[in-house]
Structure 1
Amino acid sequence: MNDYKHVVYWQETETVERQPALRDTVECDVCIVGGGYTGLWTAYFLKQAEPALDIRIVEANYSGYGASGRADGFATPTIGKDIQALVEQFGAQRALEASQAVGRSILEIGRFTRRNKVDAEYEANDYLMVATDRAQLRRLEQDRELAIRLGGAAPPEILSRDEAQSVIGSPAVLAAMRTGGALVNPFKLARGLARVVREQGTVIHDDTPAIRVEPGVRTTVVTPGGRITADKVVLATNVHMRAFRPFRHKVVPVWTYALMSEPLTEEQLDRVAWAGREGMVEAKTFLTCARLTRDNRLMFAGGPAPYYYGGDTRQRNMNRAKVYQEIHREFLRFFPMWGDITFGYAYGGTADIVRDYAPHFGTLGRGIHYGYGFCGNGIAATHTGGKVLRDLVLGKDSEYSRLLFVDDEHRKQPAPFPPEPLLYVGARAVSRLMEWKEARA
């Protein structure tokens, strides 16, 4: 029997000093609801543009507690689960612009960590999209063809079995394609970003959930201990956007899980070729991914991405023995030579899934703005999203406010998710359908 710690490994790599909760009635220029990456980057870019702005962030727990601090740490240029659908809707040029914007964010996050002395364990070492069967190889080929269609940088080459295994020595890998990206410690990035934002003058109220938002000439955010009235409000709460009426049927929380090992010995590391320490991602919808941490722990994640009835996001879902058994079986398929590795941590978190699998930013009117829908690919995209929300809040027509992420008259809105029990039944059916389609691709 595995003796896992069902706590998020990343959250044990740095201590947390909570900021005081709101216990008063106050006013400010901008109130941001949600202290994860989206809210923090928005505050950071707003302060850079307008240092005099009085900005407050209300966070239900603390920055890095939610999805931002539970991520696998892959900073990728991903702008949605289905880039082909975005090309069909918006055209190749607009899809390329969005992809390039998120790609720049990967580099800019690295510069941010160096400039502000944020020890986020940033490693600009790319990642490898790998195929383990013919269907996945065809997906790599389709992705490369799409990259050629989009133009921009030279398209990546598909590595043969021997070439791919010389990069990451897994016998399961049949082919691979190198993609630009970076690895980070997601929790340290969130905590470091929160520290920088506070140094800019933004006030963060931890342990301060938003109970409701009251629109008006000036919008008021109501919390258990106080109220904040602001000229502008930004809603950036990831899966918890469902708490606000306009988004109630636009986002659902799915759970993703990971195993984290104890530090590997030199002898264990020598068994597998992995000199470049690239991240590894399997080319399928319910992906498997793996990476090494700074202290040479192996993180192995993926497998099922379940939706629990009623959108259950309670922490008890971290203790799901069957899920971890499946992840461990996948791990042994990829790395049978590491059968003696001990996994000390088994944990999970929620990703905000939207119907069209792409982020959404926009304005509800009366100075209320929003950003959500990263579908588990938010480390770089939230950085780009912070610039989008900055320009929406400031009312600027810019290259960011015109990105395809922004909800306007040109963007077709997906149908809402159905209520329960149809949502639960439909989510299970869609999962099975995707697995069947990928097996036959």
Structure 2
Amino acid sequence: MTAPHRAQLRDTAATPYWLDRPEIRPAPLPRLTEDVTCDLAVVGGGYTGLWTALLAKREAPDRDVLVIEQSTCGHAASGRNGGFCSPSLTHGLANAAQRWPGETALLQRLGAANLDAFERDLDTHGIDCGFTRSGKVAVAATPWQAQALRSAAVLHERHGEKAVYLDRDELRDYVDSPLWHAGLWQPDYALLDPARLVWGLRDACLALGVRIAERTEVTSLDDRHRSHVVLHTPYATVNARRVALATNIYRPLLRRLSLTMVPVYDYALVTRPLGDDLLAAVGWHGDHGITDAGNQFHYLRKTDDNRVLWGGYDAVYHYGNRVDERLTQRPATFDVLAAQFAETFPALADVPFSHAWGGIIDSTTRFCMFAGAAGGRIGYALGFTGLGVGATRYGAEVMLDLLAGRTTERTRPAMIRRPPVPFPPEPFRYLGVQATRWSLAREDLHGRRNPWLRTLDRLGLGFDS
């Protein structure tokens, strides 16, 4: 017998919803086929790389900046995410307070300032990506999740930040599901269109004179020369005075980065456009985003044309840090997500899904970005762990500071000065990740952290959502 929810998956397109808009998607730029020199070569044409190029060119208009992207700008994580733009640089206040209690206030202030600058830059460069500070609600399905949200509200209040705990009746003003009975409202949270952001940054870079080569893979890096760094591509060589690595989870060009991240596959569905009556039936009257408070958490939001994006829950790691475009389609996960959507919103159970896709999260052992420099000529900012839409701009500024030899307020925090604890080699990496996933699922069911999770907590490697 076929489960009823599977009928809603019958006609899904196997491509990210955000990228499936040929009417606004820019044509690919030419690949690099001739040897070139430049002042700054940026490897990677996602958010981090494009912010780096834009800010570098704006800071020094005469600087020759080249972006090298192996596919097309925004093809990977920057075009596949949910478009949640957090003010946090540290994957949330709780993560900062646990790992860097003495610097939490500084990190929160830097994050808030970064989000303000992010918004100003969108206005300055005319980037229309639907950016709006519509807020976010975290929702609880169990008593222990509700208690965690109460504690989070107290923590935010202690740091002078807006966060309001919602009981069941108050939550119904934001969303109504039979599964959720408490929430946490965070008004200073933004949503945007991921693809329009990356395409807007691309256009802004080109307008300032940044050169961009798409469909050009950097295959190796040679930093043995005193005056420049050599980047090798299939058809050309780049000699750059400085290099910024914004390669996300793809093969690192520096050996020191090889154990710093693991690729975790995340999946999402998008519905057909909904009428106002259906959205009213689930009490979703505003434009705010929603996340649930589980370790295996979901995220959901509306799009401009009244679709619902529903993603998360089933994060998957493949042995050996495997990265393969074929892994972005996983019918078993789409089946689970569709069933959970019907259970969460019975009034929407018959709504068909139009798109089903996956993407890769560059996860670190401390659940947030890291940055650094090698030899003063190579900078990197990586490991945004699924919450990097806003933080990528900060990472770009940090890279430019480090490459310029500047000590600034941005480079001072320990999260920048100290790299994350590396993951172990295989097979211990795979076994550790699977043990952690199993343990987090058990915590979601029973509300208790088992000995494995408590051990990770003591080691400063505590995993949560």
The two structures have a TM-score, normalised by structure 1, of: 0.94
Report the AA paired with residue 61 of structure 1: S
User: 1:81 deviation in Å?
Assistant: 4.2
User: Which residue of structure 1 lines up, in the alignment, with residue 58 of structure 2?
Assistant: 48
Aligned to 1:169, which of 176, 179, 183?
176
SS at match of 1:52: coil
Report the AA paired with residue 341 of structure 2: F
Q: Is the 8 A contact 1:231 1:367 kept in 2?
A: yes
User: Which residue of structure 2 lines up, in the alignment, with residue 228 of structure 1?
Assistant: 238
Q: Does 1:280 align with 2:290?
A: yes
Q: Is the 8 A contact 1:80 1:375 kept in 2?
A: no
Q: Is the 8 A contact 2:250 2:323 kept in 1?
A: no
Q: Is the 8 A contact 1:130 1:281 kept in 2?
A: yes
SS at match of 2:431: helix
Counting only pairs closer than 5 Å after superposition, residues 54-69 of structure 1 correspond to structure 2 as: 54-69=64-79
Q: Does 1:337 align with 2:347?
A: yes
SS at match of 2:340: helix
Structure 1 segments unaligned to the other structure (5+ residues)? none
Counting only pairs closer than 5 Å after superposition, residues 85-100 of structure 1 correspond to structure 2 as: 86-92=96-102, 94-100=103-109
SS at match of 2:129: coil
Distance 1:361 1:297 in 2: 36
Distance 1:88 1:272 in 2: 35
Aligned to 1:132, which of 137, 141, 152?
141
- Provide the alpha-carbon RMSD of the alignment: 1.8
Distance 1:38 1:311 in 2: 21
Counting only pairs closer than 5 Å after superposition, residues 9-408 of structure 1 correspond to structure 2 as: 9-13=17-21, 14-81=24-91, 83-84=93-94, 86-92=96-102, 94-149=103-158, 151-153=159-161, 155-179=162-186, 180-215=188-223, 216-217=225-226, 218-242=228-252, 244-406=254-416, 408=417
Q: 1:82 to 1:156 in 2, by over 3 A?
A: closer
Distance 2:83 2:375 in 1: 34
Distance 1:357 1:239 in 2: 14
Q: Is the 8 A contact 1:307 1:427 kept in 2?
A: yes
Distance 1:235 1:7 in 2: 27
Distance 1:222 1:162 in 2: 60
User: Which residue of structure 2 lines up, in the alignment, with residue 427 of structure 1?
Assistant: 433
My pick for the range that moved more, 280-289 or 189-198, is: 280-289
Q: Is the 8 A contact 1:119 1:189 kept in 2?
A: yes
SS at match of 2:249: helix
Q: Is the 8 A contact 2:221 2:253 kept in 1?
A: no
Q: 1:392 to 1:366 in 2, by over 3 A?
A: closer
User: Which residue of structure 1 lines up, in the alignment, with residue 456 of structure 2?
Assistant: none
User: 1:72 deviation in Å?
Assistant: 0.5
User: 1:262 deviation in Å?
Assistant: 0.9
Distance 2:401 2:373 in 1: 11
Structure 2 segments unaligned to the other structure (5+ residues)? 1-6, 449-465
User: 1:89 deviation in Å?
Assistant: 4.1
Q: Deviations over 1:26-82 (max 9, x none)?
A: 111111111111111111111221111111111000111010110100001233347
User: Which residue of structure 1 lines up, in the alignment, with residue 452 of structure 2?
Assistant: none
Percent identical pairs in the alignment equals 29
Distance 1:311 1:327 in 2: 24
Distance 2:51 2:420 in 1: 26
Distance 2:160 2:238 in 1: 45
Report the AA paired with residue 316 of structure 2: P
User: 1:387 deviation in Å?
Assistant: 1.5
Q: Is the 8 A contact 1:238 1:373 kept in 2?
A: yes
Q: Deviations over 1:159-214 (max 9, x none)?
A: 11110111112232211111121111101100110110111111111011110110
Report the AA paired with residue 133 of structure 1: T
User: 1:257 deviation in Å?
Assistant: 0.4
Q: Report how many aligned residue pairs link the two structures.
A: 434
Runs of 4+ displaced beyond 6 Å: none
Distance 1:82 1:424 in 2: 26
Q: Is the 8 A contact 1:34 1:60 kept in 2?
A: yes
